[in-house]
Amino acid sequence: MEEYTISELQEKMQEGELTSRDCVSQFLDRIAKLDQKLHSVIEINPDASEIAAHLDEERAAGKTRGVLHGIPILIKENIDTADKMQTTAGSLALAGNIAPRDAFLVEKLRKAGAVILGKTNLSEWANFRSTHSSSGWSGRGGLTRNPYALDRSACGSSSGSAVAVAANLCAAAVGTETDGSIICPSQTNGIVGIKPTLGLVSRSGIIPISHSQDTAGPMARTVADAAILLSVLSGVDENDQATTAAAEHIETDYSQYLKADGLIDARIGVSRNYWGFDPRVDRIMDHAVDLLKSLGAKIISPANVDKESKYGKSEVEVLLYEFHADVDVYLGQHPMAPVRSLKEVTAYNQKNKSKSMPYFMQERMDQAVKKGPLSRPGYRKALEKNRLLSRQGIDSALEKDHLDAIIAPTGGPAWMIDLVNGDNYNGGGFSSPAAVAGYPHITVPAGFVFGLPVGLSFFGTAWSEAKLIQFAYAFEQASQVRKPPKYLSSVDLSVPEFSW
């Protein structure tokens, strides 16, 4: 099963060489063998084999639901499933929460014939609990580890989804992002991640942080697989106003943009102000720029996008307000949740401190509980500032030089896990402008630093997923950078310092 694409699995099932139940069995075997080291899967769907068998029967009867028919997919554990699996965001405070209905994106996956294989570990509460948390740790799931070097961070908060994809524990996975939570773990674990425009994928049935920034998105080993998954995930949901407003922009098949010659005459800007935090990453990025040129792209450099320092504090302010409001709404809609409000969550954590908070506390939650309603002028002013500056920063850079997209380094190599001091993001990388703006962002493997993956980011204005997929696919096909992990205990310093 290692490195099989969705299309390859589908072809083998169509030809009778493989069944969906075979796929599920083999992925479950890999999970049993490898995930003791990785802790990327928090829960297995006990009905996965039965569901796969039913889908095999449908195929035998001449009925297939689409390109995901029988394909095993993992989803992040903050996404509701109305089955035997819990939805807790990794929190012990929510243990036992069985959702009354599937999240809209889960409904779409099931309708498309995907097998929900299980749920992935994550940074607890999607990394919005503490100011010095360690990515990939949750009270329910323990610590997710990077498969390229087990003592390195998997980043987060969609840590488990990224690691499971990188380790070939599923065909593809779904993650969620508020700011960097799809993009960072994707690049850190050597896979493709797409953070869509806000409203392309429904947010209903997902444990929230912020309705102004939250989105789910695909995480896969190839751009093609990510495009296939995005085609299924996107859609209008009557319970999510952002998707109804986006109806005219939602496409049914992003695979049509997989063009190996897709960079010819594309105008690509280079946000050079995101270079400079690591000379090895710079070398990898410079090589990527040269490759883009060789593929026919017109490179405009610099095409700098303002960094988030202009609105970093106001972003946190908005997230604190919305986290309080949105979590309370979510919990009010889930009768099996053992806690009914964010205030009750913080009280549970404090009462059960030794289990719930062994490494870091809940400063973010404590701050959020103190925030008032969303009608407060301070919240509304911060939200307006965030949207204006982030969107203006990207759009003005695009318009100034008539660009189709902009590139930047996604981030640096994975840092050492440090449960005492928390994450160290190496001081570089791109995620916040696109996240705060609600604009699309794709990361693709671009190289390695001592065997640790480094990604290249493509981003643009709202609803530019089609272009970004086209450009990312052309780059991926020409570069062929991805290498499967080797599950080393630590970094192998005998390999080249940087490579592509």
Task: Write out pLDDT tens, residues 372-410.
Answer: 999 999 999 999 999 999 999 999 999 999 999 999 999
Asked if residue 103 lies in contact with residue 80, where contact means CB atoms within 8 angstroms, the answer is yes
Task: Write out pLDDT tens, residues 77-92.
Answer: 999 999 999 999 999 9
Percent of the chain's residues with pLDDT above 70: 100
Range 286-314 average pLDDT: 96
Q: Is the pLDDT of residue 476 over 90?
A: yes
Please confirm, yes or no, whether 157 is among the known catalytic residues: yes
Task: Write out pLDDT tens, residues 404-416.
Answer: 999 999 999 999 9
Q: What band does 8 get if pLDDT is binned at 50, 70 and 90?
A: very high
The number of beta carbons lying within 10 Å of the beta carbon of residue 418 is 13
Q: Are strands 172-177 and 215-220 parallel, antiparallel or unpaired?
A: antiparallel
Q: Which of 291, 367, 314, 361 shows the shortest CA–CA distance to 139? A: 361
Cis preceding linkage at 338, omega within 30: no
Q: Is the pLDDT of residue 426 over 90?
A: no
Task: Write out pLDDT tens, residues 487-499.
Answer: 999 999 999 999 9
Integer Cα distance of 499 and 35 in angstroms: 28
| Residue 201 token pair | 């994928």
Q: What band does 366 get if pLDDT is binned at 50, 70 and 90?
A: very high
Catalytic residue among 20, 40, 157, 431: 157
For the chain, list the domains and their CATH numbers: 6-308+322-361+385-499 (3.90.1300.10)
Range 120-147 average pLDDT: 98
Looking up tokens 């390695």, which residue turns up?
448
Catalytic residue among 20, 40, 76, 161: 76
Q: Is the pLDDT of residue 427 over 80?
A: no
pLDDT for 428: 87
pLDDT for 329: 98
pLDDT for 12: 97
| End-to-end CA gap in the chain | 25
| Residue 384 token pair | 């307006």
Range 342-360 average pLDDT: 98
Integer Cα distance of 486 and 293 in angstroms: 32
Q: What band does 342 get if pLDDT is binned at 50, 70 and 90?
A: very high
pLDDT for 483: 97
Range 105-120 average pLDDT: 98
Integer Cα distance of 336 and 40 in angstroms: 25
Integer Cα distance of 150 and 145 in angstroms: 5
| Residue 153 token pair | 């961070």
Give the per-residue SS3 of the chain.
CCCCCHHHHHHHHHCCCCCHHHHHHHHHHHHHHHHHHHCCEEEECCCHHHHHHHHHHHHHCCCCCCCCCCCEEEEECCECCCCCCCCCCCCHHHCCCCCCCCCHHHHHHHHCCCEEEEEECCCHHHHCCCCCCCCCEECCCEECCCCCCCCECCCCCCHHHHHHHHCCCCCEEEEEECCCCCHHHHHHCCCEEEECCCCCECCCCECCCCCCCCEEEEEECCHHHHHHHHHHHECCCCCCHHHHHCHHHCCCCHHHHCCCCCCCCCEEEECHHHCCCCHHHHHHHHHHHHHHHHCCCEEECCCCCCCHHHCHHHHHHHHHHHHHHHHHHHHHCCCCCCCCCHHHHHHHHHHCHHHHCCCCCCHHHHHHHCCCCCCCHHHHHHHHHHHHHHHHHHHHHHHHCCCCEEEEECCCCCCECCCCCCCCCCCCCCCHHHHHHCCCEEEEEEEEECCEEEEEEEECCCCCHHHHHHHHHHHHHHHCCCCCCCCCCCCCCCCCCEEC
Asked if residue 205 lies in contact with residue 79, where contact means CB atoms within 8 angstroms, the answer is yes
Q: Is the pLDDT of residue 236 over 80?
A: yes
Q: Is the pLDDT of residue 55 over 80?
A: yes
Task: Write out pLDDT tens, residues 243-293.
Answer: 999 999 999 999 999 999 999 999 999 999 999 999 999 999 999 999 999
Catalytic residue among 123, 138, 181, 204: 181
Please confirm, yes or no, whether 181 is among the known catalytic residues: yes
CA dist list (Å): 293 to 262, 288, 296, 345, 430: 12, 9, 5, 52, 22
Q: Is the pLDDT of residue 332 over 80?
A: yes
Q: Which of 231, 392, 206 shows the shortest CA–CA distance to 306? A: 392
The number of beta carbons lying within 10 Å of the beta carbon of residue 303 is 23
Range 420-428 average pLDDT: 90
pLDDT for 425: 87
Average model confidence (pLDDT) for the chain?
97
Please confirm, yes or no, whether 353 is among the known catalytic residues: no
Range 217-225 average pLDDT: 99
Range 107-111 average pLDDT: 98
pLDDT for 23: 98
Task: Write out pLDDT tens, residues 138-173.
Answer: 999 999 999 999 999 999 999 999 999 999 999 999
Q: b/e per residue, 309-319, with b = 16+ CB within 10 A?
A: eebeebbbbbb
pLDDT for 179: 98
